A and B are shown apart, each in its own frame.
Chain A
Amino acid sequence: GNSVTQMEGPVTLSEEAFLTINCTYTATGYPSLFWYVQYPGEGLQLLLKATKADDKGSNKGFEATYRKETTSFHLEKGSVQVSDSAVYFCALSGALNTGNQFYFGTGTSLTVIP
């Protein structure tokens, strides 16, 4: 079946540290991949996406590259800020015969300390 696995948290980093949150997926067909961010008390917001292999999504200093050979979509940021503290979800959509249904990972909580 279709699924997303992301690294478990919580992750705690100092400000300006490098961030990597691992995400791997299992899917049939050619899905699109997404990273969503959830700030405390809010709904999920799209952070970035990639719709085909080797595409790189980027936004607000975050990047992720769609790697079909390793079925991965790891999220990276070179220098995190306190304001990046949130829960990050990896997701896929568009797997074979599933239309627009999304499959979410369990989320990774990030805390950035000054």
Chain B
Amino acid sequence: NAGVTQTPKFRVLKTGQSMTLLCAQDMNHEYMYWYRQDPGMGLRLIHYSVGEGTTAKGEVPDGYNVSRLKKQNFLLGLESAAPSQTSVYFCASSSQRGLAGRNEQFFGPGTRLTVL
């Protein structure tokens, strides 16, 4: 049971390049999330998904796209990277069992992205 995994762990991009970050979870969770973590700002939600084939915008969605074609995978895409997207990106997942808001989120180890 690997939990939540993220690929790649590190990446350096030039401005304007594109890339996709992959998140995979093996806990059969319905909900998945993408966050970015910046110094002094905590975690900010980029996009999330409440189930296969569904996605929704979070707090800071501009410049990112996501897809959830399979329940276990949640992809985050940057179509044209900008230096402002330099950050550490975390994926998380959670179960929908029980009352809403009571289930913890499980986090991946993060992807450190630098855009030059």
Contact = CB atoms under 8 A, between A and B. Distances in A.
A68 to B, nearest CB: 15
Contacts of B109: 41-43
B45 to A, nearest CB: 7
A105 B43 CA distance: 8
B104 A34 contact: yes
Given A44-B90, A107-B42, A94 B101 contact: yes
B94 interface: yes
Interface of B: 4, 31, 33, 40-43, 45, 48, 50, 90, 92, 94, 96, 99-110
22 contacts: A31-B101, A32-B101, A32-B102, A42-B109, A42-B110, A43-B4, A43-B110, A44-B90, A44-B92, A46-B105, A51-B102, A89-B43, A94-B99, A94-B102, A100-B31, A100-B96, A100-B100, A100-B101, A101-B48, A102-B33, A102-B105, A107-B42
